[in-house]
Amino acid sequence: MRLEVIPYILDFKFSARTSRGEMTNRKVWFMRVQDENGAVGWGEVAPIHRLSPEDIEEVPVFLERLKPELAKIKIPSSEEEIFSLVSKLVPSSIPSVRFGLEVALLDLHRGGKKLIFSEDLNKINIPINGLIWMGDEAFMKDQIREKLDAGFSCIKLKVGALDFETELKIIKSLRDFSEELIIRLDANGAFHTNEVLSNLERLNKFNIHSIEQPIMPMQPEAMELICNRSKIPIALDEELIGIHSSRDRVDLLQELKPHFLVLKPTLHGGFSSVKEWIDLAEIHGIEWWITSYLESNLGLNAIAQFASLYPENKEHHGLGTGGLYHNNLVSPILIDQGYFKYAKSHVWDEVGL
């Protein structure tokens, strides 16, 4: 197989702010894998500086090293062989490359039509949350109004960047709008351990569905206490990063006993890794949902098709990020009344590829 790597800069429509910093753009690498017959598969490598476990500067270096390795290998003949090959070629410490190579090889294996897991995209109809980014009060309220007008029944707010009283005011106004609205919060580890339980107690009166990562990861005793005592269900996100062995994953779930897992294929090393998280979560009675990692529409397409393999999961997935960029790839992806769908005409833009 022949590998070509194309860097691409995605430009945000606004300054994307979390409690961990701001982004105005982000770099991704598109992987073009071609077999000896000329068929082509596309993948996307999309780590985020300071948020992903890998060193961003090492990603293009590793991708160059992959080229001669892939040149010696023929396309695997099954999904299982693809997952096995990727795990051998790419260390778990570079999860974004594992994800990108899995997607490229799965695409190539299935004919290079961007049908990574599904043969009929028109049947895909996935409930998703509307994401509200951090900003000043007016900016956040404008986003909320936009999402409600667009028909979202589940809203996810980033919290932890404004003062807590202002955030309470925003959440109250959202709850006052509708008692039925599903409200999720994502703190990205922003709350201090000495204040988190009191903050969660004050938030609880607004009937919050869940809160992601209320404190920074790697504080197991504190997180176990929070999962046990919080009246708001706790979802683990950053806490899962870098946990690769099955034994360590089981130990984490049994020790912390979270209510939800938030799973991001780019962060966890692709779909084989995420599938193991799902299997373990279901064994332990833990609910979960899939979320993008702000990939372009190319990566988002693969993640949504994977999510569609679990129709029994009724949680709202985090797949509404395709409209964040000025220069995202044109694709058949649609967001309609809070659902992820595809247009009947499956046209893809080749810009940047």
Q: Does the annotation mark 72 as catalytic?
A: no
Q: Does the annotation mark 114 as catalytic?
A: no
Candidate list 264, 275, 314, 341, residue with the active-site label: 264
Candidate list 113, 158, 341, 344, residue with the active-site label: 158
Please state, in angstroms and rounded to a whole number, the distance separating the CA atoms of residues 104 and 29. 12
Q: Active-site positions? A: 158, 264
